[in-house]
Amino acid sequence: MKENRKIPRLLFAAPKSGSGKTMVVCGMIAAMKKRGKKVAAFKCGPDYIDPMFHRKVLGVESGNLDTYFTEEDTTRYIFYKEAQDADIAILEGVMGYYDGLGGQSPKGSTYDVGKVTKTPVILIVDGKGASVSLAAVIKGMIEYRKDSNIQGILLNQVSSGYYDRIREVIERECKVKVLGYLPQLKHLEIPSRHLGLVSPEEITAFGQWANQVAKELERTVDMEELIKIAESVEESEINRRNFHIPVLEHKVKLAVARDEAFSFYYRENVEVLEIMGADLVYFSPLHDKELPKEIDGLVLWGGYPEKYARELEKNEGMRKDIFNICKSGLPCIAECGGFLYLQQTLEGENGRNYQMAGVLKGEGYRTQKLSRFGYMEAVNEVNGIVQKGEKIKGHEFHYWDCTDNGEAFLAKKPLGKKSYRCMINTSNLLAGFPHLYYYSNLSIIKGFLENCERIHVKREAKKHWDKIAKPIDSLGLMEDYVVKLCGMQNMFHPPSIKKRALMILCGDHGVVAEGVTQTDASVTRIVSENFAKGISTVNHIARYTKTDVYVADIGMDTPSYHQDKLVMGEVVNRKIRRGAGNIAKEPAMTIEECEKAIQAGISLVKELKNKGYEIIATGEMGIGNTTPSSALTAIFTGEKVKAVTGRGAGLSEEGLEKKYQVVEQIIERVKKKHLKKPEEILAEAGGLEIAGLVGIFLGGMKYRIPIVMDGVISTAAALTAMKIAPKVTEFMLASHVSHEGAAKAALSYMGLPAMIHGEMCLGEGTGALSLFPLLDIAIEVYEKMGSFQDYAIEPYQRFK
């Protein structure tokens, strides 16, 4: 960005809507272009339609400046970035000059944008049906704020004879220059439609229209004085703040809908995507029969799908393509019109219902008035492609609604108490009516693009496998795991898993008192200390697989260990409390303790990553922990208790029957309490080491490090983590199918096939470590084996 460059500029405002701002601004742009000036155009506020007119006149993009969406520094950054090469910047106001948030504040108003960008203001006043009163209006507009910066007046809809008389009154009474006028130009007025002005495409001979307006302005307005005012701005110290926009390591290919039905977008959103590393490929849901090939993500912005509902329905090939690719897990953002297109049906302007893409289950229908109109800030309350707690600002303006608008976000109106739920946030889809402004939270868009990047990296890794001189897919899951590792580590070249850790979490369970185990809880401490001494089964496997073993007490019913640092050879203190409650009769822990245990697991991943570990295997120790694992699996999968409850470390028939009863009791209590949130269910029916393992899986997602599942307890924790954050499965590797039925059910539910089927049921991390030699073999082939071309062999082809 060029610095300390003066950018001549004008902001055209008005006391109210309908005063002629769009006509004047389009004519002014055309007039400046005739004078050989390079023009930058902006619209104040969230409007889409007016920038379309600017683009049509300019032949270039037009931007939005909005001080509700962005902080002052960001607003200035956007202005200077987009206007830095222009000879003059022309800004079009929104509504009345001081009209801002909620009709109560000038925040977000045209005045606010002018103040932030230090732009001279030209006030357009509709003179029809008034005379001296115009001076009162203008004087009030100028003096309402001391820094109004109104430096000139243009009168609209006045005759030439009347203009000379009223100009003298205004200049005398208001001490401001009147720079010209426009007569009544009924043949040049812009008609309106239900979303505001018509689109430029709907006006015939648009270029001729703009030139006619420009010609009128040249005839009746002092253009030289306007230019002089524009050039009077002080030299602009361009925002020197280190405004950081994150950039992907690998370019991604986004398919973006753009045609007559989908034409609403913010220029700034397009630029953010491109700066971050997206190549935008435009397609038409109306005219193209299928999506572009090998895309990494999909963007469906707003427009007029209801106007073209019949044509969209007829394009069955595109509808099926979008349905299939969304269901395959491809990341997708859909806003307003794009959101309606993803529904089952949409009511057209003619009142008939038409079939849409069917990705979502709702039905779009026409309303009699604007629905949820205006600014909003939405806070995400569920984990999906957008993480819980993220906020973003947007705007709604639509006469169509839907039977299912989603409930993932809580939207709040600025300066008011009104709030409502909106938007759908799944593992790959962010969809809803709000038009989002990306600069208001770049981290959400970064997260979306990182998901696209993972798709891209995995596709390229799969292409590499297909070039290797062997039958396609012949190594089965070994190939899939390498592809998945490439996606996790964001690299095409062979993934590295040489530095390995096994993290074993240990905790006790009050449910042991119910007779659901063969031994008592004292064994937990003994075995945990054996891990630290290096003398348990898993330690021998760890030495063979070159894996470092760490042991942490997160909830044993023992005094706390003295070692707080994460080191090998000792049991590390991460204790939340001494033992979980007896889940047959009471919660395992409080929700606060559960959250602490989850956070402890996330922190352990961070510590291990900081130590340079590239992959983490999970292990656990806790007498009685197959009982909560069975309960959690039954609750989350809906499987019957007997199908997911096994003998654990060896129960008699009598003990097994007792275990069935206890699991049933737990499930019944969860139902009676109407617990729905995964964290609440985990606190009620889980265990401390299970909650810690949940955190480890979530930490894998947060810090982009592969986490290997072990047996039934680890798998139940993975299932719980998936319920909290569906995207977490992309950072999990299933090692083996435990002999316990709960593990089989959980893996099936998560859609994660395991490579090893060995009827193992020891736990400790033994199954997780057993995966490492197979991964080593797969990476060796991926990295070192030659291609079909190297060996002069005719390549195999993949057939669907």
Sequence-distant (6+) residues with CB within 8 A of 208 are: none
Beta pairing, strands 353-355 & 345-347 = antiparallel
In what order do the strands lie in the sheet containing 353-355?
Answer: 353-355, 345-347, 363-366, 400-402
The yes-or-no answer on residue 336 being catalytic is: yes
SS (H, E, C) 56-125: HHHCCCCEEECCCCCCHHHHHHHHHHHHCCCCEEEEECCCCCCCCHHHCCCCCCHHHHHHHHCCCEEEEE
Tokens at residue 61, please? 């993009």
Of the candidates 174, 336, 422, 506, the residue annotated as catalytic is: 336
- Could you tell me which of 442, 65, 73, 108 has the C-alpha nearest to residue 237? 73
pLDDT number for residue 189? 67
Locus of tokens 């806790």:
622
Q: Which residues of 412-435 are buried (b: 16+ CB within 10 A; e: fewer)?
A: bbbeeeeeeebbbbbbbbbbbbbb
pLDDT number for residue 204? 56
pLDDT number for residue 194? 43
CA distances from 8 to 231, 267, 744 (A): 5, 21, 68
> How far apart are the two ends of the chain, measured CA to CA in Å?
49
Over residues 593-633, the pLDDT tens digits come to: 999 999 999 999 999 999 999 999 999 999 999 999 999 99
Over residues 756-783, the pLDDT tens digits come to: 999 888 889 999 999 999 999 999 999 9
In what order do the strands lie in the sheet containing 732-734?
Answer: 571-573, 547-555, 500-507, 615-621, 707-709, 732-734
Query: What is the number of other CB atoms lying within 10 angstroms of the CB of residue 282?
Result: 14
> What's the CA dihedral at 293, 295, 300, 303 to 10 degrees?
-40
Tokens at residue 203, please? 């006006």
Q: How many CA atoms lie within 13 A of 714 on its CB side?
A: 33
pLDDT number for residue 201? 58
Question: Quick check: helix, strand or coil at residue 265?
Answer: coil
CA distance 436 to 423: 11
The stretches in the chain having pLDDT less than 50 are 193-195, 239-240
